[in-house]
Amino acid sequence: MSKKAPWKDQAEGRFFTRLEVAQTLSGSLALPLHVVTGRKDGPTLGITATIHGDETVPPIMLRRLFEELDLSQLAGRLCAIPVCNPLAMSAFGRQTPEQHGKTDLHEVFPGSAKGNLTQMMAAVIASNLIDHVDVLIDYHCGGAGGRLQERIDFHRGAADDIKARSLELGRKF
């Protein structure tokens, strides 16, 4: 069973916290979590971004989204981690620098609290965000070594109605 969501008891409004991952020689490694709760009840949308450190557009888009969001018109909740891999972002690379083993955050979910830093970040993201949302958008933008493409991925074993709703949401996004 997963832990309680950090925003579980939050009323209408804006909420920010830092999700602690680990203490390193250079200080605390934490991930930013932004939450906006609307006036009306509704589903919870989660957004992850900057899984790869060279994908710098998503945090800018999310900042703008959070600034312009009208809480009186929002039904439900929007939760986002705009920078999922701050170590890769600070190195402007696709993977977490200076580690052994799997260092591409995109490939290590659900992660491990006892793994390397990449696996630890994945575990924090999974237990504090992914496990608690109704819908998840993992936002990528190509990056320095990537390619720009319009693509929607979903679990191969998903029911047909889930696939159809995922495609509809992706097109609207």
> Which tens digits make up the pLDDT trace of 121-148?
999 999 999 999 998 999 888 777 666 6
As a whole number, mean pLDDT of residues 15-32 equals 95
Asked if residue 166 is part of any domain, the answer here is: yes
Asked if residue 8 is part of any domain, the answer here is: no
Number of structural domains (the chain) is 1
What pLDDT does 1 receive? 46
Residue 54: give its domain's CATH number.
3.40.630.10
Asked if residue 97 is part of any domain, the answer here is: yes
Task: Note the pTM of the prediction, 2 decimals.
Answer: 0.89
How far is CA 53 from each of CA 5, 44, 84, 92, 158, rounded to the nearest angstrom?
Answer: 26, 26, 9, 5, 29
| 15 strand-pairing partners | 35
Q: Cβ distance 79 to 129 under 8 Å?
A: yes
Asked if residue 1 is part of any domain, the answer here is: no
Which carries the bigger pLDDT value, residue 139 or residue 19?
19
What pLDDT does 45 receive? 93
As a whole number, mean pLDDT of residues 16-27 equals 94
What pLDDT does 20 receive? 97
Q: What is the pLDDT of residues 76-106, one digit of tens each?
A: 999 999 999 999 999 999 899 977 888 999 9
As a whole number, mean pLDDT of residues 100-123 equals 93
Asked if residue 120 is part of any domain, the answer here is: yes
Domain extent at residue 57: 13-172
Asked if residue 5 is part of any domain, the answer here is: no
Asked if residue 147 is part of any domain, the answer here is: yes
Lowest model confidence (mean pLDDT) among 8-17, 36-45, 83-92, 160-169 = 160-169
